Chain A
Amino acid sequence: GQQVMQIPQYQHVQEGEDFTTYCNSSTTLSNIQWYKQRPGGHPVFLIQLVKSGEVKKQKRLTFQFGEAKKNSSLHITATQTTDVGTYFCAGKTSYDKVIFGPGTSLSVIP
């Protein structure tokens, strides 16, 4: 079946280091969404990418959608302790279904 994978599953970084999580789909996606979930909290929508090759920035966060619309990445520059949490991608398939990836859990060491 259709799958959305994320790597790495866990990432521990020193505060100030950069962080990247990758999202890969087995099928072409119509769009991809990214969510952040703080420990003990609920997922919060960050951004949606629609176009092939699209790049969007939110302060220290950079989101990319691959040319083939099968992969995406989230890059955080100079991590801060407020970045701690799990980052989920969610890909929308051609069958109009959204499939969430398993998430990447980020911890930041002060």
Chain B
Amino acid sequence: DAGITQSPRHKVTETGTPVTLRCHQTENHRYMYWYRQDPGHGLRLIHYSYGVKDTDKGEVSDGYSVSRSKTEDFLLTLESATSSQTSVYFCAISEGRLTQETQYFGPGTRLLVL
């Protein structure tokens, strides 16, 4: 599975609390992505990174921030979680020189915001 791990795998939190999800890769890939998956919407890109400290917004970035201080780690932060952020979050990496070429996904984090 391309050496991608996500932590935690499950989390329950309350509205208004900060939450940080971690994605870790072992194969030194340049591109890393955070998606959320909701019924009927497929996968929607939140943020992505094209190198250490280089990040950009995806289509649903409001309410989320990211950081990448090391090649292997890409963090997604919900500064103040809301119930609409209840979702399954997938991290992904891609190979190749261009963004979003063949992507390999992590196992996912199920987040419930009460």
The answer on A and B forming one complex is yes
A: which residues have CB within 8 A of B? Answer: 9, 33, 41-45, 48, 88, 90, 92, 96-98, 100-103
Give A105's nearest chain B residue, CB to CB: B39
Interchain CB contact under 8 A, A96 and B98: yes
How far is A102 from B43 in the complex, measured between Cα atoms in Å?
7
B: which residues have CB within 8 A of A? Answer: 1, 40-45, 90, 98-108
Distance in angstroms from B77 CB to nearest chain A CB is 21
Among B42, B45, B101, chain A packs the most CB atoms within 10 A around the CB of B42
A102 contacts across to B, CB distance below 8 A: 40-42
Query: A103 contacts which of B1, B42, B106 (Cβ < 8 Å)?
Result: B42
Interchain CB contact under 8 A, A48 and B90: no
How far is A88 from B98 in the complex, measured between Cα atoms in Å?
21
Instruction: Given the known inter-chain contacts A88-B43, A100-B42, A103-B42, please indicate yes or no for A43 contacting B90, CB distance below 8 A.
Output: yes
Interchain CB contact under 8 A, A43 and B43: yes
Distance in angstroms from A104 CB to nearest chain B CB is 10
Instruction: Given the known inter-chain contacts A33-B102, A48-B102, A98-B100, please indicate yes or no for A42 contacting B108, CB distance below 8 A.
Output: yes
Query: A42 contacts which of B90, B98, B99, B102 (Cβ < 8 Å)?
Result: B90
What 8 pairs across the A-B complex have the smallest Cβ distances? A98-B100, A100-B42, A42-B105, A100-B43, A102-B42, A43-B105, A42-B108, A45-B102
How far is A68 from B14 in the complex, measured between Cα atoms in Å?
48
Among B44, B104, B105, chain A packs the most CB atoms within 10 A around the CB of B105
